[in-house]
Structure 1
């Protein structure tokens, strides 16, 4: 039966990948509405022919990779279970240590290393693609350094989460999902608190904004918005990317207003002030707290569903998947598979609310700055720098876009009738 399931899974993935290929590359895509051609929202008005060609190619390849990469990860987890590799890793770990905690840490390291190696070719292709199209300026050694940091940061957090999770499952096989959910609340807040000052500096250097005149303008804008801020930070991203970005991150006294140096180098002060006003709109409208509340609620539903689905699958197909009990650490790939599927399935809903918040922040920024022209030119430059697809197809928008497509954003800030969601 295991062999039959494995072949079926491979064939299903192949058919899915082929279907997505035809959808993304041969469905015709989404053209610019006739009413918007020749307007400031039309990419042909602010991108040359070569840039338009590159944008179309790059967007299609990235969209295809997105829709294939996540199901490929599911396939990897499924095959790890099906061929008994997870069970073998647990046995090897047990042979190296009799202590449960040490045994589980060894298992997690082996599983993390295995998945990192298997997924590495796809990650490297994505990196090479961004280099080919001029988005990334990062050297291979720098990219590998970030990848190694990613591996150890993720591994450290995985060890904490998984050890606690399987301890809870061992204590209560019926209500572990509820206790796990209760613990995710303080843990998530803690991660948000330390991310700007502990995790982010592992990847890049952050320092106070050198342009003090611009900093004064930004802090003045923050004062108008009743946002307590004393400093603005810049981060050295030019050595890694040509893309532009700015953001407000963290909570409480660890919150930071951050500008990429690429943004500072390529946008005017007025455009930067609009971008900053947009980020301030998220703060004023408390989007970070609404986002946290939504995440906590979705985590509750997700853990409950995961508990039900895992219990059912192990009871019915545990022998085929080489899983004896739900509290065996070898069941972790099944947990990761189910949670990943649920997260992917829920992304259209979470993305919809994210796009709504981004649209609200755009509206707030226009009200605060009163500068629609700077908003339009800022969006146009953001589109060019990232070779963004301004009007994606429906599935791409639902599953990929946490921000409204640039066609909509430019159209709305230019004070025209809003486009239907």
Structure 2
């Protein structure tokens, strides 16, 4: 049975439910437009013929159809799940049993911070249980079917356990501190809460790559050689304070490739995925190869054929990725984001948005009608207020903000491409984008309305045309 709330508060509750479904139907319509494009475009379009052959195009098309189909069912399930949780009072139910568990250890309802931590723990466990089947299907069916997944089930299980444990270790103290700040901060708690979130976000960015990411992937220094020297020269030419240069063994979990940089002030690090580097051989692979060279040949046992098969597999593995000049061009694009202060601009905008949301929360967090509309008749817990106001009441603003940030991100991508062109890397960047698009089975064309709402990076053809116009 649905939660029983007064009629005047039903207006708030029903408005939230209706808006969530309007957003879902709009997103489903956009996805339908993109799926229609996938299904109707079976042959390589004329404008794509020069950058993608029919075989690769067909593989990309089938991959994107599988992903879109999965996304439809996952999205429908999530929408129904969220609606059911709200309609049948899932939030007050979990909050009540959090308090009941707390009472079993001798604590009453005045210990709101402890109850908030238990509430977050219950929600985290529930979300993990609900999402794991979907993630398993995506990883071991869709990604496996299209030869992207490299994880074993055991590797995946250890990954999930570590992620969950790390999430709990981080989120519970943050929850406790944030609730305490809001309750003890007085009339200006929103300023203290914003400063706290800002400091925590900077701290997490600082420690992520040095202490958190190595828990999941192996990072090694890029070996001395031509590529390293060229990267260091490029960084020096634009005064980028390069501190360290790493390669991460992403190939142990997927063949998708990437590159990024992080760090503050004069401690910038660049990280390259090993799948991005066409000729990269890890230290473990080199040692294994040297060990096999030292072993005597045993043609009679059939080991020669096995070695040939292994060499063929290695060549196939290394056929993906970019050569040194293309990797350099990709990094020129990434460094363009730094040179043009895109990261600082995004940081400023995101923090201004966080401050605004806390100001709105400060205005509404004592409004009893809002809590009653979601089934909280006698309590107004701080953590529940944050969820209701920032996630549901604020949802129309969140949708608009997300759309504007997506548009800004695309603008920044065009500017970073233009920067790469200004340092004489345009030709190599074009070939790298084409190659990475093929390696990752990206679909080269997109519905204009769909891409406007979802693509933080412009479609491939738009990026290539924009760089051509700069000529």
Q: TM-score range by the shorter chain?
A: 0.7 to 0.9
**What's the counterpart of residue 240 of structure 2?**
227
**What's the counterpart of residue 287 of structure 1?**
342
Secondary structure, aligned partner of 2:277:
helix
Larger Rg: 2
**What's the counterpart of residue 159 of structure 2?**
146
**What's the counterpart of residue 236 of structure 1?**
249
Secondary structure, aligned partner of 1:251:
coil
| CA distance in structure 1 between the partners assigned to 2:326 and 2:150 by the alignment | 23
| CA distance in structure 2 between the partners assigned to 1:248 and 1:69 by the alignment | 36
Deviation larger for 273-282 or 54-63: 54-63
**What's the counterpart of residue 201 of structure 1?**
214
Deviation larger for 265-274 or 169-178: 169-178
Pick the aligned partner of 1:384 from 438, 443, 449: 438
For residues 59-95 of structure 1, the C-alpha deviation after alignment (integer angstroms, 9 at most, x for no partner) is 5236536855774674476355356232222322232
Deviation larger for 396-405 or 99-108: 99-108
Deviation at 1:293, TM superposition (A): 0.6
Deviation at 1:31, TM superposition (A): 10
**What's the counterpart of residue 405 of structure 2?**
350
- Pairs aligned (count): 413
| CA distance in structure 2 between the partners assigned to 1:376 and 1:235 by the alignment | 24
**Counterparts in 2 of 1:180 and 1:317: CA distance versus 1, 3 Å:** closer
Deviation larger for 141-150 or 8-17: 8-17
**What's the counterpart of residue 416 of structure 1?**
469
> Is the CA contact 1:243–1:386 (under 8 Å) kept in the aligned structure 2?
yes
TM-score in terms of structure 1 length:
0.83
Pairs within 5 Å for 1:116-131: 116-128=128-140, 129-131=142-144
> Is the CA contact 1:196–1:256 (under 8 Å) kept in the aligned structure 2?
no
Deviation at 1:388, TM superposition (A): 2.1
| CA distance in structure 1 between the partners assigned to 2:54 and 2:229 by the alignment | 31
Secondary structure, aligned partner of 2:408:
helix
Secondary structure, aligned partner of 1:226:
coil
**What's the counterpart of residue 416 of structure 2?**
361
**Counterparts in 2 of 1:218 and 1:339: CA distance versus 1, 3 Å:** farther
**What's the counterpart of residue 110 of structure 1?**
122
**Counterparts in 2 of 1:353 and 1:330: CA distance versus 1, 3 Å:** closer
| CA distance in structure 2 between the partners assigned to 1:384 and 1:76 by the alignment | 41
Deviation at 1:146, TM superposition (A): 2.4
> Is the CA contact 2:336–2:417 (under 8 Å) kept in the aligned structure 1?
yes
Pick the aligned partner of 2:98 from 82, 89, 102: 89
**What's the counterpart of residue 267 of structure 1?**
322
Unaligned segments of structure 1, at least 5 residues: none
Unaligned segments of structure 2, at least 5 residues: 5-9, 279-320
Asked if 1:405 corresponds to 2:417, the answer is no
For residues 196-241 of structure 1, the C-alpha deviation after alignment (integer angstroms, 9 at most, x for no partner) is 2112112111110125221011111111111122432100011111
Deviation at 1:334, TM superposition (A): 2.8
Pairs within 5 Å for 1:7-406: 20-21=27-28, 23-25=30-32, 28-29=36-37, 37-39=45-47, 44-45=52-53, 48-61=56-69, 64=72, 68=76, 71=79, 74-75=82-83, 78=86, 79=88, 81=90, 84-98=93-107, 101-128=113-140, 129-172=142-185, 175-210=188-223, 212-265=225-278, 266-308=321-363, 310-312=365-367, 314-318=368-372, 321-322=375-376, 324-329=378-383, 331=385, 333-334=387-388, 337-338=391-392, 341=395, 343-368=398-423, 370-406=424-460
Secondary structure, aligned partner of 2:124:
helix
| CA distance in structure 2 between the partners assigned to 1:97 and 1:218 by the alignment | 60
Deviation at 1:179, TM superposition (A): 2.4
**Counterparts in 2 of 1:269 and 1:302: CA distance versus 1, 3 Å:** same
| CA distance in structure 2 between the partners assigned to 1:310 and 1:392 by the alignment | 42
